[in-house]
Amino acid sequence: MDVEKKVKYIYNISFDLADISKEDRCPMHDWYNNLIDKTFNQLDLFDVTRMLIQKMFLELAVLKAISFIKENPFCGQRYEGELLELLCKLDRCYLKKYTIELKEILRDALIKNKSKRQIFLRIF
């Protein structure tokens, strides 16, 4: 994947915020408009969390989520462990190719931080 390619080009999206009247516009429209103008490297935790919740661009969201949980397995936008929990709720087809990587991340996290063990037990 080209990490410098914007989301709108990866998914061949044509969206113009100007087509939505100000009365009909909501924060989700603004976020979406900003999101599709970002590259993979520009996606932040908020973007990835919302992408997973909205089930949008899941291949991209999963890949970026894994990069976040490698740094901090307990990261989340609203609460600790949220990103990992959202990944666990996805259909397995999105996670299959990352199985080994995810197992390593979880194993290392449990070893490094036993106090967070309850989060993992609740998720799994």
Tens-place pLDDT, residues 57-87: 999 999 999 999 999 988 999 998 899 999 9
pLDDT score of 111: 77
Listed residue (124, 91, 89) closest to 110, CA to CA: 124
Q: Flag whether pLDDT at 33 surpasses 90.
A: yes
Tell me what pLDDT residue 113 has.
Answer: 72
Structure confidence at residue 3 (pLDDT): 87
Q: What does the alpha-carbon distance between residue 19 and residue 21 come to, in Å, rounded to a whole number?
A: 6
First to last CA, the chain: 30
Please tell me the predicted confidence (pLDDT) of residue 59. Answer: 95
Report the predicted TM-score, pTM, of the whole model to 2 decimal places: 0.84
pLDDT at 118 over 70: no
